[in-house]
Structure 1
């Protein structure tokens, strides 16, 4: 495996992860304080992002099969740079345009930026297809784990740095730094990233006759459907827990605290622990564990461990124990997703981008639905019910995994691909 081939992709995703987490604690506050958004309107920014990503990911994946990974990655990154540029210019543009147009143009620009960022967020999808193109099958879980670890590294450094920059220099500075990071990643990728699709597949002739998967053919890929369902259920839990995490901490551990910032500080510590655990797991532990146990056994272990943790947490009333339980939860989630992606990667290179796009789109759908169902459960039932319902979902995911033979070599390669168009 040539590390020179994958380093530009890892650097690209790391820059994007740091940029996204830099503005993570700032964006909703900016929307409310500087642009007069309601809390609902501020939260809708994330809905715009995941909704756009849900629609765009399969399209970008298919396009990368037709035209090559490199041009789609660079196009996606260009969109990300433009999105952060819009964030930066939103406030001065609002002062100029709002009196003329008679609407809150700054908030409109924020929505446009978030939509554009979601549309071009397919860089992560195409990056996974790129890795599957150039990395041997046995090494894919490890390298896909490295890609996922960029998110953990982002959580370690991004929110804290963004908060410090905002407090010291003003709320605009994190957006400027984030935009600079994404632009540097675009320049670096343009100079160093090589095409990964074989020349024949990326040729003009193949562009015209690229393979398109129909829905009927996709549903005949039963392994893909089951793997995607497991990924959807895991993400449905993880996105829900992420959305409600701070509110749960406040409701359970700081309900009577006089200092309102105490829950925030505790949550910040928890996010740091989560980021470190995720990064260590996905950078250092996936390769030896996959080599020893295989992907399916690790997936099943992760599912059972997550479900068990979800059942236990509602009974925990001690803050320290809660933090300690967060470590194994994040550890097994960090193992689960890269191994599911590794199975998705084992397919014909003419449809690999499409399947990764569909897989990522399904997970984006879970990211959209997670905060909705968890908010209903939190308010209508109880804060603790969130964990128990998540446990049910993960046990269901485990039941699906039992349909695989643990010793079998899972592959999505089909000998009956549809005719090329």
Structure 2
């Protein structure tokens, strides 16, 4: 691989995904376009007695189909998801990574919750019999492990990083990959987000916060972003990974980019550990700065893939922030929330949104926000209710807002 120390544009040339509605990129995308929900009753554990008994699980995933027994013993599900998605992204990009020690391939795979299930399992085993705790326990649950497992699997010897920005982790990975490429620190970066933490303790904790939907009797209608009858988010899981490289590097090997990562911005509410700032002003600032960094105007943007969690306050604040930033352009924008179908994939959520933007550009279609039956009067944008919309998408904004007040916005362009 050649060295491009000064490059001006970072592009996405490969995408891999494992989501609650599909075990690869294309099946996930077709399900999202058709408005298919991946929310159902929890199968990962017995949720009897909990207020919330539904989740958006990855389905029909058999780790043994992808990994040998030794590898399975040392890895957690959130790492396995990342590796499977990364393999698909590399294949999609038409790459062969041969593990050459000189190869300038980096990895930036972020997670919000890390190895929560492993910690829960090991804690139970320790109380039962300390000898039952796996010698791989500590290494498997670390937040950097998905990135490291991807590097090990694909022979990536460049910079390997992991950052935790709660629910904004997945889109931050794409911006960090862009920074790495533009700084000339790598030729390629495998970047994305992953999480898998559907466990009793997690659900008990989120339930006591009052964060989760309790619409257990009609799971596919539980996630209702921007709807007046929304009652909390649906917890999800999965992974989305991208191949990011400089435009020059992609052109030299004849790769076709999905999109250009034009710019982005991070701000902090610096307000509360879980509640967003009531003004929404810092999310607004992130959007303004991201547009400025991308040299884009509000008139350039066709589509916003919203954070849209279906929590009472988040949806209203995001809608108000979009209106404040876009002004009269807000009324012609298409805005949608894939969380209405896949729930909140936590550390993978922002990466899923970037995938939606990429494939919307490719196919000229924006997936819907399902379950938007009674729009909240305070959420007054065009959320593409119920059915996908055919439209050309040239410039998209992806919003992601995380616990702790972390706001990350990316601007993505059709190449």
Specify the structure having the higher radius of gyration (Cα).
1
Ranked by relative contact order (alpha carbons within 8 Å, sequence separation 6 or more), the top structure is 1
Report which of the two has the higher share of strand: 2
Give the TM-score, by structure 1 length.
0.28
Report which of the two has the higher share of helix: 1
Give the TM-score, by structure 2 length.
0.29
